[in-house]
A and B are shown apart, each in its own frame.
Chain A
């Protein structure tokens, strides 16, 4: 009797658990894209947020004057119909498309941009990305409260559809910069309905209130679960938008994301477990994507601490690192060894520096700096909790021990502790990484100018500062890149930062997703993406 019941229950169980069709399998019909998107977005206000997950959503909901080119290269026109540049390269006149509308039907105007740029630059808003617009005339003094009158800032509406922008210097990457969400417009009546120009975190970004001008509109936002956007029929280029919806899943656990991808709940797994890359390379070659990325993994040296204030010591440390081994035996994710601080961009800037592996020279340099074997103090190497950082740190610990006889103490701390120690200078050497905000060497090299917040090394070189400054006002791209190459040489010679490898983006993408191209900023405007077998 019991046996009979048991078998009956077993059969019921198997029937009830019949394999269902996964969302990815039905996606082509429904035209819904399922994306893993790292962490839960902090907010959807382009003037408040700072992270990549937020960027991925905001480019669906809002659009600036320009759109990032999905295949890299020159940006594409967004709400800007056309633009003229003055002969000195400092003044841009943008014509805004007549068809550019907000999702409630209002026209997108030049005044929207003036209001929006005033908003992000208003000191009391406390926008962390306000400095992205410091290239505008008087933007920095306005943001720092030194001038109060916004009409002195280099942006004004000539008429409803004409925007005049004046820059401090000719800035060749200005149009690229306009693809960044910090320059996106926000809908003034909505902002003012829920607060003042400087109100942080008002309810305007809630699903019932959000007014955008991007290819999608906010449909649903369930915290820690999913954020859904749907096609915006008022978008000026809605004809080319193929997707009906995009579902962004906030998945901060790499293993869960991997499981979700493999069981058919995602078209894109934002990151892939490092230990699985080799397996996936052979098992899912048409899913695994390894693409160049505009970022450098490096070690930051506190140059205010002895003996690291001596460039010979820093150079010795760099020469004792076998970058080939780190890339090929430790990381195994298609990363390339770094020979400069700025990652080389095949379509643009290509630094002519070199970072060799030469243990003998390293030993000699260390001796020259006054350290014979066994005399060097124990080095503290700080990194935040991550398997990848730990593996690299362990490998370098071995290399320095083997090649220079230096003892390294690894210090693993949580993210906020790591940030706090770096910021206060309470470190000797720390791991670091930098991803460019826009595809220009300035995004890297400007960071190491004396006194810049992100420098954090205490390093200062007036010649370097001068070269970066001169590059900002250079007349041609060739001249700019030449100046940048000279600055890069100084950096690689003095090594306040020791570049290790150039990042790659390693992720899983379903082969049915078309129009998703590799590009160094990893930006994929959704209006160009479609689902097809």
Chain B
């Protein structure tokens, strides 16, 4: 198992190297610079600013200098926030984004698995159609529509939950978590239903029922373990997706997460911040995919054999 992890980790290096190189070239080729402002900066001052941030050096020199700093764990200073380093900004936003992702995945798994199991027990009846239709709607409605709609109904009209903020007021996590988690809950529901239907038709379930076990025991103890494998496989990419894709929800609800820094950095041409967050998100996505493979293998002996034989 350890050698497998080691092998996978080695493959991360070229991926991150490619991310750094491509992102570096893209940010530097984008029109508009970090110091372009409505009120024109005088050429003398621009020279001083470029010198200060090493932007006056040839591009290849900037690239290798950046690469060298990254290898030492230094992502450089932010251009947008003069007194802050990129590392500091990443660690300011990351815990919030992570918390939002964790709550959303818990919400998604809880709601999704529950709905999927219920649907699979009475296939092709209204008990199946209802949650599956809701799941289809959940997949189709983008968070940019869902978030403001929830805010309008539950925040402004009913006044039940705050429409923005994070950890300031009771209940301020409810709407963002639902907004971010709904699509993933919908996927979980459909995957669970599919997985459960497959398992429930197998011989060992029939045997369990024939032995006179209660339906709840058959479902929870025997069927669920196998039925959840597709969901578990989905969790890794889902968490990675939640972490990387939370910026829309962070913007809608004013959550001070990493996603907002990422989006602002792109608009502000904050080169070091764009690069730093890109590298960080890439590393996270690769790590969670690896983690998902390992967890899936732990649940599924067949898969485990396959991975060992890789």
Contacts and interface: CB of A to CB of B under 8 A. Distances in A.
Question: Do the two shown chains form a genuine complex with each other?
Answer: yes
Interface of A: 17, 19-20, 22, 39-40, 42-43, 45, 48, 50, 123-128, 130-131, 143-145, 200-203, 205-206, 222-226, 249, 251-253, 255-256, 259-260, 262-263, 265, 414-421, 423, 453-454, 456
B41 interface: yes
Interface in B49-65: 49, 52
Contacts of A19: 158-160
A445 to B, nearest CB: 16
Contacts of B159: 19-20, 22, 263
Nearest to B163: A259
B173 interface: no
Nearest to A49: B82
Nearest to B47: A126
Given A263-B163, A265-B162, A423 B36 contact: yes
B77 interface: yes
A259 B153 CA distance: 11
Contact of A43 (B77, B83, B166): B83
Contacts of B256: 222-225
Interface in B248-263: 251-254, 256-257, 260-261
Given A416-B267, A420-B36, A201 B82 contact: yes
Nearest to B49: A126
Contact of A256 (B48, B81, B254, B267): B254
Contacts of A225: 165-166, 254, 256
Given A43-B81, A200-B82, 20 more contacts: A17-B171, A20-B159, A43-B83, A126-B48, A127-B45, A145-B44, A201-B82, A201-B84, A203-B83, A223-B92, A223-B93, A224-B93, A252-B264, A256-B253, A263-B156, A263-B162, A263-B163, A265-B163, A265-B164, A456-B40
B32 interface: yes
B246 interface: no
B37 interface: yes
B216 interface: no
Contacts of A17: 158, 160-161, 171
B309 interface: no
Q: Could you tell me the dominant secondary structure of chain A's interface residues? A: loop
Contacts of A417: 30-32
Given A19-B159, A19-B160, A224-B260, A259 B151 contact: yes
A42 B164 contact: no
A259 B37 contact: no
B283 interface: no
Interface residues of B, number: 55
A144 B44 contact: yes
B163 A256 contact: yes
A42 B36 contact: no
Given A17-B171, A259-B148, A416 B77 contact: no
B42 interface: yes
A416 B252 contact: no
Contacts of B82: 42-43, 45, 48, 200-201
B43 to A, nearest CB: 8
Contacts of A130: 45
Contacts of B81: 40, 42-43, 201, 223
Contacts of B12: none
Nearest to B268: A416
A50 B37 CA distance: 9
Contacts of A205: 83
26 contacts: A17-B158, A17-B171, A19-B159, A42-B80, A123-B48, A126-B48, A126-B49, A200-B52, A201-B77, A201-B82, A201-B84, A205-B83, A223-B92, A224-B93, A224-B257, A226-B168, A256-B163, A263-B155, A263-B162, A265-B163, A415-B267, A416-B30, A418-B32, A420-B31, A420-B32, A454-B39
A369 to B, nearest CB: 30
B142 interface: no
Contact of B252 (A48, A253, A423): A253
B169 interface: yes
B36 A416 contact: yes
A222 to B, nearest CB: 7
A22 B162 CA distance: 9
Contact of B41 (A22, A128, A256, A415): A128
A311 to B, nearest CB: 24
B33 interface: yes
Contacts of A423: 36, 40
A123 B44 contact: yes
Contacts of B42: 131, 453
Interface string B230-270: 00000000000000000000011110110011001001110
A121 to B, nearest CB: 11
Nearest to A127: B45
B170 interface: yes
Contacts of B161: 17
Contact of A259 (B33, B39, B41, B156): B156
Nearest to B159: A19
B305 interface: no
Q: Enumerate the 9 nearest inter-chain pairs by beta-carbon distance, A residue then B residue, closest first.
A: A416-B32, A201-B82, A453-B40, A201-B83, A224-B256, A17-B160, A126-B48, A420-B32, A225-B256
B203 interface: no
Nearest to A206: B83
Interface string B69-96: 0000000010011111000010011000
Contacts of B83: 43, 45, 201-203, 205-206
A441 to B, nearest CB: 18
B26 interface: no
B151 to A, nearest CB: 5
B141 interface: no
B166 A256 contact: no
A520 B252 CA distance: 32
Contacts of A414: 32, 267
A126 B165 contact: no
